[in-house]
Amino acid sequence: MVVEDSDIRPVDVLLVEDNPADVELTERILRDSDHPLRITVAEDGEVAMAMLRKVGEHSDTPTPDLVLLDLNMPRMNGYEVLQEMSQSQDLDRIPILILTSTQAERDRLQFSNVSPGRYCTKPLPITRFNDILGWLRSEEYVAWSALSTQPDQEREPAILEKFSEIAALDDRERSDRVATLLRAEHDMQADGIRGIMATRLRVLLQMDEEAAKTIANTYSTGVQLLSSEQAMLHVAISQRLSEDFSEEDRGRLMAIDPRLFGARPQPARAPRQESEPAAPRKRWWWPFGG
C-alpha cells in the first residue's frame, strides 16, 4: 500500500500484524498521515524477520524507517521479534513502535522496564504516529534533501553554515543531527547523494581543522550505524569521489579523517579482562524520547 503525495521518498513502514481487521483499520488510519508512506504488511513475526533480512521472495522488500509491531501473533510473537532485531547489527537501529491491545501486554512491557513512550494502544493514534514521523522527516531533513538539486554555488555556503553550527554542539546532539542528514542523503537519488557528498568534502577543506575533524568523525561514526546496504553505497560513492580531488586536497582530507574516501578501519580492541563485566545490550533503538 502506498500513500504518497510528495517528491520526497515515502516513509517505509513495516506493519507486523496477524489480524486482517486490525491491518485494515491501521491502514485506514494511516491514510490521514501528514507524511507520504509506503506500507508493507507482515502477517506474523517469521514473515517480518524474513522481510527485514530480505530472505528469498522478500529480497526486494525495502528496509523500513519504522516498524509497527503487534505482540500477540502466531509462530513468532512480537517479543521474539524484538529479541531477534536487538541481536542483529543491521536491524537494531530500526525504530519500533509496539501496538498493544490488552492491559496484560502493557503490564508485561512495564514489568520489563519498557517506557510507555515506546508503545501505544490500538487503534494507532494518528497524532502520535505523525509526531514520530515528524522526527524522521523533520524540517532539517527536508532542507538537506532540497540541497541535492541546488547548484554548488548555493549548496556550498549552506553546508558550511550547517556544519559550523553542528560542530559547536555536544556529542549527543551532534550525532543526532548528523544522523538526520545521513538519513536524508540516503533517501536521495544516486546523483544527488554523490553531489552532496562531494560538496561536503569541499566544505571540510574550508573549515577550521578541529571543527572539520569533529564533523568528519561524527559522519564516519554515523556511517557505521547505517544498514549494510546503505553503508556499502556510502563507501562505494566515497571511493569514487577521491578522483574528484587533487592529490594535495586528498591528502588534506585524509589527514582530517582517513575514512572520508571509503576506508572503514576496525579499531583494535584490548582483550576484556575476566573480571570486567560484559556491557549490557540494549533491546532496541528508540530515537524519539520516552
Domains present along the chain, CATH in parentheses: 2-136 (3.40.50.2300), 139-256 (no CATH)
Torsion of CA 94, 97, 100, 105, to 10 degrees: 60
Report the C-alpha gap between 166 and 181 in whole angstroms.
11
Looking at residue 131, what is its pLDDT? 84
CA Rg value for the chain: 21
| Cβ atoms of 86 and 281 closer than 8 Å | yes
Question: What pLDDT, on a 0 to 100 scale, did the predictor assign at position 188?
Answer: 77
CB atoms within 10 A of CB 194: 19
Q: How many CA atoms lie within 13 A of 39 on its CB side?
A: 23
pLDDT at 277: 44
* Segment 15-69, tens digit of pLDDT: 999 999 999 999 999 999 988 899 999 999 999 999 999 999 999 998 898 999 9
* Residue 142: all three cell numbers together: 527536508
Q: What is the pLDDT of residue 266?
A: 46
The predicted pLDDT at position 4 comes to: 52
- The share of the chain scoring above pLDDT 70, in percent, equals 87
Dihedrals phi, psi of 260, to nearest 5 degrees: -65, -25
- Residue 231's pLDDT is what? 82
The per-residue pLDDT for 67 is: 95
Question: What predicted TM-score, i.e. pTM, was given to this entire model?
Answer: 0.62
Residues of the chain with pLDDT under 70: 1-8, 115, 263-290
